[in-house]
Amino acid sequence: MDAKTIILIISGGIAAVKIPELIRRLRDQGRSVIPVMTKAAHEFVTPLSVSALAEHRVYTDLFDLTDEAEMGHIELSRSADIVLVAPGTANLVAKMAHGFADDLASTLLLATDTPVIIAPSMNVRMWEHPTTCRNLAQLRADGVRVIGPNKGVMACGEFGYGRMAEVTEILGAVDGFFKVGPLQGKHALVTSGPTHEPIDPVRYIANRSSGAQGTAIAAALRDLGARVSFVTGPADVASPSGVEIHRVQTAVEMLQAVRSILPVDVAVCAAAVADWRMASAHDQKMKKTTSGPLPNLEFAENPDILADLSKGVHRPRLVVGFAAETEYVIKNATAKRLRKGCDWIVANDVSSDTGVMGGQKNTVTLIDDNGAEAWDEMPKEGVAKRLALRIAQDLK
């Protein structure tokens, strides 16, 4: 692995306590780390421990640089291969989204022309606040790669999304960034998992998709060097590391997430999106009555994300759909390719006796302009690798 230089910006959140371990692991990999700390970060981790592990002095103030005639803040901002922000507080996210430059960290981020990866970390309410959502969407649109946050218990005792991505996940993102492969420089979008369509606050419509095939495809594209945006419904399997994860529940949310990620070079729609949602979900839990009529569920059609992508103004160069069928697999999938307007369809038989849904293996047929090509049964990772190589060939 080539040694690469990383400017590591540490802002003032409790997750800063994990940063010495991150620095140690980066150094073990032979990476050079230039640490920059905000003032607030000093409350959580000492500059002494950071500089000792990084084997590099810590910068905090713009004035730290004035005594180094050879490197000002502009030059410093461009001296690394990437800028990694971990943890990224709500405050720093807001400053980045709006271009504030009132300390060294935010000034570097405004002045840099190198790619930026951020691992946000904050209280769940702050993460879910519409302002933060807007700011994050802005950063993504500006090309910043966002890793995490994860769901879990927070230092403040609350539970939800906001925990900084684990050190191994951040390392995965950095590795993924430097990976040399045929898809380097390409941006891939993968949808995965089922969607959950609420009936009322406690019930929902779902399907048996585990997310295993979509997860394997995202990992395979990442391994070939692609930047991967991974939009996942509530899946059973863990999301892959080193990809940008967008978690959604419903088809409508999945469509919004997908649109916010475009443009991309390739989109692979492996999600088992519910075709219908409730025409109007109940605000309160529906009650069982002893004598009244049984509930009458009225459905509305969900947006077709694959068709939307294939026919939209930001159509990716290559759009790949999946067809989960239980009968007339090839005939139905061939018709689906034309109806949806995608380039390829990966067709599979998901009848219950095949064990595909929720299972480890898959037998697929790839359908493109040239017809149908049947692949032997193989693990879902095998299907993913072969598909990723095929994608790399096509995008060459």
Which spans of this chain sit near ligand C5P (rule: CB under 6 A)? Answer: 191, 251, 269-271, 273, 275, 302-306, 321-323, 336
Backbone torsions φ then ψ of 87, nearest 5 degrees: -75, 155
- Phi first, then psi: give them for residue 345, nearest 5 degrees: -125, 130
Residue 279 to residues 62, 91, 283, 350, 395, Cα–Cα distance (Å): 56, 39, 13, 27, 40
For ligand C5P, the nearest residue by Cβ is 305
Answer for the pair 62, 73: CB distance below 8 angstroms, yes or no: yes
State in angstroms the smallest separation of the CB of 91 from ligand C5P: 36
- Enumerate residues 6+ apart whose C-beta is below 8 A from 123: 154, 156, 158, 162
Minimum CB distance to ligand C5P smaller for 195 or for 241? 195
Cα–chain-centroid distance for residue 168?
15
Q: Are strands 276-278 and 266-269 parallel, antiparallel or unpaired?
A: unpaired
| Least CB distance to ligand C5P at residue 304 (A) | 4
Pairing mode of beta strands 5-10, 32-37 = parallel
Least CB distance to ligand C5P at residue 168 (A): 29
User: Which is closer to ligand C5P, CB of 64 or CB of 253?
Assistant: 253
The answer to whether the CB of 226 falls within 8 A of the CB of 183 is: yes
Strand order in the sheet with 82-88: 32-37, 5-10, 82-88, 116-120, 145-146
Q: How far is the CB of 324 from ligand C5P (least distance, A)?
A: 6
Choice between 60 and 191, CB closer to ligand C5P: 191
**What is the closest distance, in whole angstroms, from the C-beta atom of residue 340 to ligand C5P in the complex?**
6
User: Which residue, 35 or 321, has its beta carbon nearer to ligand C5P?
Assistant: 321
Give Dmax (Cα) for the chain: 84
Catalytic-residue membership of 269: no
For tokens 């994050």, name the residue: 136
- Show the tokens assigned to 224: 């070939």
Peptide bond into 35 cis (omega under 30): no
Instruction: Find out whether 368 and 390 touch, Cβ atoms under 8 Å.
Output: no
Alpha helices in the chain (DSSP H): 19-28, 47-54, 73-77, 90-98, 104-111, 124-128, 130-141, 167-178, 212-223, 251-261, 305-311, 329-340, 380-395
Give me the torsion for CA of 284, 289, 293, 297, rounded to 10°: 30
For the bound state, the minimum distance from the C-beta of residue 150 to ligand C5P, rounded and expressed in Å, comes to 25
Nearer to ligand C5P, 15 or 323 (CB): 323
Instruction: Compare residues 224 and 306 and give the one whose CB is closer to ligand C5P.
Output: 306
For ligand C5P, which is the closer residue by CB, 122 or 305? 305
Closest distance between ligand C5P and the C-beta of residue 355, in Å?
19
> What are the residue numbers of the active site?
156
